[in-house]
Structure 1
Amino acid sequence: MSDHTPLTKADRLAFLLRKTVADAAGAEVKAERQHVIDDLLELHEEHGVKQVAVKLPDDEQIATLTISQPTPRTEITDDDAFIDWAAEHYPDAVEKVTVRRVDPQLLKVIAAEYPEADGRHYSADGEQVPGVRTHTPPPSSFSVKYADGDRSRERLIGAWRGGELAELDTGDTLPALEWTGNTA
């Protein structure tokens, strides 16, 4: 026998309300993310800024928005040249099927073992690996880090509930709350 306490109609309705608000807020955040990353990228391009502090009206920092740095990508730029080179230097990585192709895992070896300069890779004796380049795509995302973890989250919600953020456009999901003079 289970010690589960059955939910009431009100419990299920309260859950559905929270889920509906969370879904709506999630959709708003998703739609707004591109605007935020565009703003961060503009700040980065114009001023070299990679991180922006987010503060409450009393100047307490509660989070930072940080541009995520993409990982460099090594790609084949000329299949035939790279296959010919790989067949000579890594013959086990070249498969013969109806067409020749190089095992994609070899790109990881090239990136790790062959020094890169200006996107091109070179052997120890200076031979360029043909048909392969490494480039780092431009940033396209950001992360949010709360200054003091859960305490900062609680402080932000408390400031919103207490009306300290009444001047903010809270979107269609969150109601704007009026300042009541307390933060409880």
Structure 2
Amino acid sequence: MTAPEQSAESLRDLAVEAAALKLLAERVAVARKDVQARTQRALDAAAERDGVERVAATLPGGETVATISLRKGETGPVVVDEDAFARWVRQTFPDEQWTETAIVRRVRPWKAAELLAEMAAAGAARVAVAEQVDEKTGEVVADAVHDVPGVAIKPTRARTHAVTWRKGGKDATAEAWRTGALAGQLAALTAREEGTAA
């Protein structure tokens, strides 16, 4: 037994709905990226100026539906010159096989992660070496601290922000959208794009 065929009218309705939702999704993606960038700039400015790190999202009727909170970025060690870093590891730990030689010498990923974690904990591109032999004098140097070439402390994750919904906030926002209360905020989604025919 075959499934009943979809009526032509119903198929046309689905086609229009699919096309409209595709257009809406594309415009929402562009609008979301734009509002995220503007919100981040505004939060960064408010945090620097007034120490504000969160703001309430309140509907035109006065109901608070969500909180927008600033998330701080992270700073840590980043290898900026792999060759210089590998040369330093090879010279500092000559008896260890922590580097690989191809066309360029590289630190094995597990050891690089270990050294970068130590630098992250120290907050500087420095590593304490418990015991090392000075190649020129043959003297054993204990507890030497090395500035590590090829590594810099720099931002590893940008500051961002997050939306935390309050209980019932999504439903209230959807209702405000449905009734047109958010028409001003969402006008760009249905506005004619420049360069399109009238």
Q: TM-score, normalised by structure 1?
A: 0.72
Residue in 1 that maps onto 2:100:
95
Contact kept in structure 1, 2:83 and 2:104, CA below 8 Å: no
Alignment of 1:108-127 (within 5 A): 108-113=113-118, 116-123=121-128, 125=143, 127=145
Alignment of 1:13-52 (within 5 A): 13-52=16-55
Q: Deviations over 1:102-154 (max 9, x none)?
A: 23443321133456434233326351342233333573432222222xx3122
Cα 1:137–1:20 change in 2 (3 A) is same
Residue 61 of structure 1 and its aligned partner are, at CA, apart by 1.9
Cα distance in 1, alignment partners of residues 19 and 69 from structure 2: 33
Structure 1: 5+ residue runs without aligned partners? 176-184
Q: Secondary structure at the match of 1:136?
A: strand
Cα 1:29–1:146 change in 2 (3 A) is same
Q: Which is bigger in relative contact order (C-alpha 8 A, separation at least 6)?
A: 2
Structure 2: 5+ residue runs without aligned partners? 131-142, 192-198
Cα distance in 1, alignment partners of residues 28 and 180 from structure 2: 19
Which has a greater percent of strand? 2
Residue 42 of structure 1 and its aligned partner are, at CA, apart by 0.7
Contact kept in structure 1, 2:58 and 2:65, CA below 8 Å: yes
Contact kept in structure 2, 1:74 and 1:108, CA below 8 Å: no
Q: Secondary structure at the match of 1:122?
A: strand
Cα 1:5–1:46 change in 2 (3 A) is farther
Cα distance in 1, alignment partners of residues 4 and 169 from structure 2: 34
- Give the fraction of aligned pairs with identical amino acids, expressed as a percent: 23
Cα 1:109–1:53 change in 2 (3 A) is same
Residue in 2 that maps onto 1:181:
none
Cα distance in 2, alignment partners of residues 164 and 80 from structure 1: 59
Amino acid aligned to 1:24: R
Cα distance in 2, alignment partners of residues 68 and 31 from structure 1: 18
Amino acid aligned to 2:115: I
Q: TM-score, normalised by structure 2?
A: 0.68
Cα 1:69–1:140 change in 2 (3 A) is closer
RMSD, aligned α-carbons: 3.1
Q: Does 1:130 align with 2:148?
A: yes
Contact kept in structure 2, 1:57 and 1:164, CA below 8 Å: yes
After the TM superposition, list the runs of 4 or more consecutive aligned residues in structure 1 that deviate by more than 4 angstroms. 1-5, 77-81
How many residue pairs are counted as aligned between the two chains? 172
Q: Secondary structure at the match of 1:59?
A: coil
Cα distance in 1, alignment partners of residues 5 and 187 from structure 2: 36
